[in-house]
């Protein structure tokens, strides 16, 4: 261990003692590994394979703009979380932060809400990817098969989380690299060789046959973007396992937003643009046909 890392760990231990807390974790997770953990939880690709088709049906091609708006809003939340974790670099994330800021009652409520959010996220992500894995294995995508695959995925990821920090950090880094490379390769192919629509389709709301104003449809379509841009708080969940946590974790949180939102070609909004311009024309099609054109299953 270098002298710089040793001094950072000493500063972390001193800060925790000032909070009346003693850590029993090993600080072996680097900044990039911490960032990878947050990014794989945020995972823009998950928002594509889970509810992208439904969002496209609701809002049409202009739903692309929701990725920018939601991303900017979530960046504001990220800045707040980064400030909090810099003051309270304690493992557990939301619960210990709320306990020290607002007291035990609010912490209890925040902890329960966050626990249910985690359960829903795991179930949603596993159920969303199950039909694709079934296709890869030439298994009929029946409800029973989808459920079995989803349960198996949840069991595997639970074991990875229980395996220890080092293995979890390596798996998170591997997942980040695969997701970024996959977004670049698939998105680049769609943009260069499989494009069926002009860029002007991104501002064409005539696809949506909504009664009244387009705004409700636009807001409904933002659900896919919201599914892409939360999870950066996971960086703070392992604060006591990251050296110099009060400085490194806020940076890691911001990096998840920078790469997930603001920096093409690996960003979600850029990938969304590629998917939309590569989709065949669906004007006048039935909802079922629109769902198929958007890449949905069912």
Please check the confidence at residue 39 and state whether its pLDDT lies above 60: yes
For every residue of 222-241, which 3-state class applies, written as one string? CHHHHHHCCCCCHHHHCHHH
Integer Cα distance of 200 and 223 in angstroms: 23
In the chain, % helix, strand, coil (3-state, to 5) comes to 75, 0, 25
Helices (H), 88-214: 94-102, 104-136, 143-162, 165-193
pLDDT for residue 58: 81
The pLDDT tens digits for 187-204 are: 777 777 766 666 666 666
The pLDDT tens digits for 86-106 are: 888 888 888 888 888 888 899
Q: Is 70 helix (H, G, I), strand (E, B) or coil?
A: helix
Please check the confidence at residue 45 and state whether its pLDDT lies above 50: yes
Helix (H) or strand (E) holding 211: none
Quote the pTM value. Answer: 0.73
Contact 229, 33 (CB under 8 A): no
Please check the confidence at residue 114 and state whether its pLDDT lies above 80: yes
- Count CB atoms within 10 A of the CB of residue 209: 10
Higher-confidence position of 66 and 292: 66
The three-point CA angle 68-251-102 to 5° equals 90
272: confidence class by pLDDT, cuts 50, 70, 90: low
How far, CA to CA in Å, does 140 sit from each of 62, 105, 129, 134, 144?
34, 47, 14, 7, 10
How far, CA to CA in Å, does 211 sit from each of 57, 156, 190, 248, 290?
15, 45, 33, 49, 18
Contact 44, 258 (CB under 8 A): no
């Amino acid at each position: 261990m270098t002298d710089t890392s040793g001094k950072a760990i000493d500063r972390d231990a001193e800060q925790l003692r000032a909070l009346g807390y003693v850590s029993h974790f090993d600080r072996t997770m680097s900044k990039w590994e911490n960032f990878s953990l947050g990014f794989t939880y945020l995972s823009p690709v998950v928002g594509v394979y889970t509810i992208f088709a439904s969002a496209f049906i609701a809002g049409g091609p202009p739903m692309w703009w929701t990725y920018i708006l939601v991303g900017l809003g979530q960046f504001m939340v990220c800045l707040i979380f980064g400030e909090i974790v810099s003051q309270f670099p304690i493992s557990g994330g939301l619960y210990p932060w709320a306990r020290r800021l607002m007291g035990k009652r609010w912490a209890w409520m925040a902890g329960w809400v966050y626990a249910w959010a985690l359960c829903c996220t795991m179930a949603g992500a596993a159920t969303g990817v199950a039909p694709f894995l079934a296709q890869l294995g030439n298994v009929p995508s029946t409800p029973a098969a989808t459920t079995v695959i989803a349960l198996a995925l949840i069991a595997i990821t639970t074991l990875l989380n229980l395996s220890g920090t080092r293995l979890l950090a390596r798996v998170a880094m591997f997942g980040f690299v695969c997701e970024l490379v996959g977004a670049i390769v698939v998105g680049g192919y769609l943009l260069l060789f499989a494009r069926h629509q002009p860029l002007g389709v991104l501002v064409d709301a005539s696809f949506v046959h909504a009664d009244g104003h387009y705004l409700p449809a636009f807001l409904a379509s933002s659900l896919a973007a919201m599914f892409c841009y939360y999870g950066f708080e996971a960086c703070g969940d392992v604060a006591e396992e990251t050296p110099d946590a009060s400085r490194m974790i806020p940076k890691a949180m911001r990096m998840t937003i920078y790469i997930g939102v603001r920096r093409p070609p690996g960003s979600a909004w850029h990938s969304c643009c590629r998917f939309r311009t590569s989709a065949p024309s669906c004007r006048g099609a039935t909802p079922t046909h629109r769902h198929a054109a958007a890449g949905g299953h069912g």
